[in-house]
Amino acid sequence: MSASTGGTLSGLPLRGRPNWNDGMTALARLAGQLLSVGFEGTTADDDLRARIAACEVGGVMIFRPNIATPGQLAALVADLRGAAPGDQPLLVSIDQEGGLVQRLKAPATVWPPMLSVGGAGDVARTAAVGRALGEELAAVGVGWNFAPVLDVHTNPANPVIGNRAFGTSPERVARHALAFWRGLRSAGLVGCGKHYPGHGDTYTDSHHELPVVAHDADRLRAVELAPFAAAAQAGLEAFMTAHVLYPALDPDRPATLSRRIATDLLRDELGFRGVLVSDDMGMKAVADRYSIEELAVGAIEAGCDHLLVRQPVARQRAAFEAIVRAAEARSDVRARVEESAARVAALKAACTVPLPAPAAMLPSLLGTPAHQALAGSFTAVTGGETNSPASD
């Protein structure tokens, strides 16, 4: 690797397109299921549709620049999902937490920060928020929400989590995050708890640099890890990794690239059986230290099942091709690809969101009086405001 994190990829043919004689191999189609990608603009171009059809990507992420109006978003999602082959449906994802991080805004309901929702202390209302938010995403055909946040807000100086968290104690976070997730599930969506193993007590933002959480293992288990342990036991379908270094757990590798954290701790100790998703591989915490090829293969080796690569297309293709070449060259990587693809298939099967509603129906489904009243019923909790790139 290109940093002092130990080399596990030396000698692998990471660069260059795999040599396919008769189109995509079955292995390459599986490898594609391990990627969700972003794109520019408010429509999908022919190249993205072709990659979806060829199973070079298994999911597409929606960000704020991809949204002009609800009707446009619904048409976009229908187009994206319609490009996928019948045996490999596309999972369209979004970050719709509430507060700072919500891609879909007015005329859809604008939700308060989850610190205000959790602060109300009513898990039934928190579940209602999850359901209502999920119903509006389902109306435009989005089936995977990168929420709830499972981080514990223990550091007022944290520049990226803050009031995105449900509370300042692991108990409150676990109760309300899981209530929110159950609400999402009742609307047909699948969720994603983040940012494993805990991003709540960092002083820097992983969008810009590599944060370090220096707590000892006992503290990490008691606070940072506790909501993830509860979510694993509850059956939450996916977790997202933090591009953060935890020296007490692995002094050399950030969580996304650490087998100790992404497999040994997560699977063997916490008992998690769902999909482990990387945070965006373009974030500087990792992108400034590793090539995209090293990141893609290293994360799969460590235990990640699905990788987020927002942009550009060249990095997305390089990640896909690196995974395929590594799997062709090594049986252990191939086994990881097969294992991860099976988990992603189970995640897709758990999502029951239909195709988007007709445009004429959207005004009656988004920003309803009941949803607006629910969003407005929470008292603002001051403190924890952030100004992170996570908001776009």
Buried b / exposed e over 15-25, threshold 16 CB at 10 Å, is eeebeeeeebb
CB neighbour class for 383 (10 Å; exposed up to 12, middle 13-18, buried from 19): exposed
**Does the annotation mark 218 as catalytic?**
no
Q: What CA–CA distance (Å, rounded) separates 318 from 293?
A: 6
Query: Which candidate in 201, 279, 280, 305 is catalytic?
Result: 279
Residues contacting 294, CB < 8 A, separation 6+? 1, 2, 9, 14
Query: Which parts of 287-385 are beta strand (E)?
Result: 306-309
Nearest to 240 by CA among 300, 304, 158, 285: 304
Distance of CA 58 to the CA centre of its chain: 13
Query: Catalytic annotation on 279?
Result: yes
Measured distance CA(101)–CA(355) in Å, rounded:
24
Torsion of CA 25, 346, 74, 309, to 10 degrees: -60
Q: Which of 153, 207, 215, 243 is catalytic?
A: 207
The closest alpha carbon to 310, from 190, 392, 210, belongs to 392
Q: Edge to edge, what strands does the sheet with 35-37 contain?
A: 144-145, 91-94, 59-62, 35-37, 306-309, 275-280, 238-241, 193-196
349 alpha carbon, distance to own chain's centre: 17
Q: Are 77 and 142 in contact (CB under 8 A)?
A: yes
37 strand-pairing partners = 60, 309
CA angle 239–116–159, rounded 5-degree value: 60
What are the Cα distances from residue 108, in Å, to 76, 363, 367?
Answer: 17, 9, 4
* Tokens of residue 221, six digits: 């288990």
Neighbouring C-beta atoms of residue 177, cutoff 10 Å:
32
| Residues tagged active-site | 207, 279
